[in-house]
Amino acid sequence: MTLRTRTFVNTLAGAAVALAVVTLVASVLERRRLADHIETDLVARTRLAAALLAHRPIDASADEEASRIAALTGSRVTFIDGTGRVVGDSSVDADDLAGVDNHGDRPEVIDARRTGLGHARRYSRTAGRDFLYAAAIVESSPIAFVRLALPFATLQEQLAPIWRISLLALGAGLLTALLLAWLTSTQLANRVRAIAEISRRYSQGQFPPPSRDFGDDELGEVARALDAAVQELARRLDESRRTRAHMEALLAGMFEGVVLINGTGRLLIANEAARSILRLPAAPEGQHIHTIVRQPGVAALMDAALRGESAVDLELELAGEPDRVFAARTTPVSGPSGDGAVLVLHDVTALARADRIRRDFVANVSHELRTPLTAVRGYVETLLDMRPAGSDTGQGDERRFLEIVSRHTLRMERLVQDLLRLARLDAGQETLERVPITLDALFAGIATELDRVMQTRSVSLTVTPGPGAESVTGDPAKLHDAFRNLVENAVRHAPEGSVVEVSSRHVGEHIEIDVADRGPGIPPDDLERVFERFYRVDRARSRDAGGTGLGLAIVKHLVGLHGGTVTAANRRGGGAVFTVALTRDYPPTTAAAAQ
């Protein structure tokens, strides 16, 4: 059933019921009013008849007098004596009065005897039909009571026009209700049809503004609110389409592969570069990342990002492409539409190849320089032995020149050795042995090696292990080299006569070892760069001190080989502090694994 039909039927039914109820109530009330009017009129006539009969004898017979009064009042008249016997009746012949029942028990007579006036509606056994009765006492007359009666037929005859008028009013009302229901349902259906047509166009992606007014009633208000919401939604959809188009154009123009997945691991977006790199199937959107990506390393990175782990950078070689190296970065994503993760793949094959060439070049050059430098140093030392101290002036200058050559040759040799060490670390050629090492023994050996430098600057070394941090597990030689660099660096920058302090503490699963001095400290801008190769905070001072600029870089690699970290900071009271964090226990590894 359509809305128009339902509205028409409901409106018509409601109007019909309302009109029927109103007509019925009106007719009943009018009938009651008319009946009360007739009853009041009958009572008045009865009072008048009683007044006419009071204090006067009856000249003719009572039956004839009853007929005369009946003709005057237009009603049936009955005379009743004090015993209830009927002595006259306008509807009964005088000869038949003896057979009329005693009326002393009639309700109206009983009421009249008690109150002087009585009335009732009942069936008359004498006349054989319903009557309306009114009886009154007649004063000082042989007739005790006079009773007037009207048949109900007379009442019905007077009510008939009322019923006809009511039915005509009901019919006219129904016809009017039919017309109004049809007009209302048609208007409502047309408005709803227009709103539905606009909604269909909206559902098809057409969002033109409405060409007609929706009206000022509640339906129009709802329609305007819905239209405003749809127009706003259309604006946002259009903006979203433009944003998506821009994003797709941006992703399509990128050389980097970009993959976006939702919180359940299903792929949402993958640009053309990612499809090519990961060899994704056609139309991969909506599929789970594990079913379409055949790269375990990539899948593991995405899983880690979905678990909420922080952004991870990793270089990896994809299966099936051993000659290509990619830098992968995953980042967790959270937003109103749910959680997810994004993966960016950058082809760094050329950079990796260049870095490998650089490492090979440094290693080869350092190796080639080592032999001639060793030879030069040997010959310089031989010449120095041939020029003992205290020779004449010319020979003294020659010895001074040879000492300068020897010192710079030694510096170059150290530089070559550091470069070779870094090259081996970069190439993963450094192996690791794991044994327990006490901090006292480790730093005692370092103090012995640096004794001459420490005496020259009047700097002492103190070692204070914390509870539970008296020893570490690692490679003694490599940890010796790492901490020797840190202690030597602290001794060279500490003020003369000061103390280089070494302390340790147990923090969770790590042992943290601090090497602190009382020197000038490190400028804040340089704290993040002190571990870069050839980076010097004070270039002139470092050059005078004979540094190569590679010591802290070697420290970082050696500590990283142990699975630890090294950081630099400034002390509150002045000076620098280097903190090395080592795990208490870890599985044996290699430099390649550490990287």
Mean pLDDT of the region 488-504: 89
- Residue-range domain boundaries for the chain: 3-159, 253-347, 357-426, 429-594
With bands split at pLDDT 50, 70 and 90, how would you rate the model's confidence at 531? confident
Is the model's pTM score more than 0.85?
no
CATH of 253-347, one of 3.30.450.20, 3.30.1370.60, 3.40.640.10, 3.30.200.20: 3.30.450.20
Check pLDDT > 80 for residue 459.
yes
Would you state the torsion angle of the CA atoms of residues 353, 355, 358, 359, taken in this order, to the nearest 10 degrees? -110
- If residue 46 lies in a helix (H) or strand (E), which one and from where to where? helix 3-53
Check pLDDT > 80 for residue 412.
no
Mean pLDDT of the region 419-448: 77
Mean pLDDT of the region 403-410: 71
Mean residue pLDDT across the chain: 76
CA 141, 144, 150, 151 dihedral sign is negative
With bands split at pLDDT 50, 70 and 90, how would you rate the model's confidence at 32? confident
Q: What is the pLDDT of residues 535-577, one digit of tens each?
A: 666 543 444 445 556 778 878 888 888 888 999 999 887 889 9
Of the candidates 306, 220, 216, the residue with the CA atom closest to the CA atom of residue 264: 306
With bands split at pLDDT 50, 70 and 90, how would you rate the model's confidence at 579? very high
Q: CA–CA separation, 76 vs 80, rounded Å? A: 13
Check pLDDT > 80 for residue 424.
no
Contact of 347 with 324, CB cutoff 8 Å = yes
Write the CATH number of the domain with boundaries 3-159.
Answer: 3.30.450.20
**Fold (topology level) of 429-594:** Heat Shock Protein 90 (3.30.565)
Pull the structure tokens for residue 212: 């007609």
Q: What is the pLDDT of residues 214-244, one digit of tens each?
A: 666 676 777 777 777 777 777 787 888 888 7
**Fold agreement between 3-159 and 253-347:** yes
CA 486, 492, 495, 499 dihedral sign is positive
Q: CA–CA separation, 28 vs 162, rounded Å? A: 10
Q: What is the pLDDT of residues 374-384, one digit of tens each?
A: 777 676 777 77
* pLDDT reported for residue 514: 92
Write the CATH number of the domain with boundaries 357-426.
Answer: 1.10.287
